[in-house]
Amino acid sequence: MIEEGKIKSIVDKIYPLGQAAEAHRRVETEQRLGVIIISMGKSLKY
């Protein structure tokens, strides 16, 4: 279904590993609009 474009993932925000605590707080507040990603590599732009 993803390949057919019927389902799309929504990324709320990407945090670097050093901001994992902040990412966790955002998940706890339930104010996010999609998934929270913690990046362990180079900074990703989404």
21-30 residue pLDDT tens: 999 999 998 7
Number of domains within the chain: 1
Query: Which is it for the CA torsion 22, 26, 28, 29, positive or negative?
Result: positive
**Does the pLDDT at position 7 exceed 70?**
yes
β-bridge mates for residue 15, sequence order: 38
Give the percent of the chain with pLDDT over 90.
54
Q: Which residue range is the domain that position 16 belongs to?
A: 1-46
3-state secondary structure 20-38: HHHHHHHHHHCCCCCEEEE
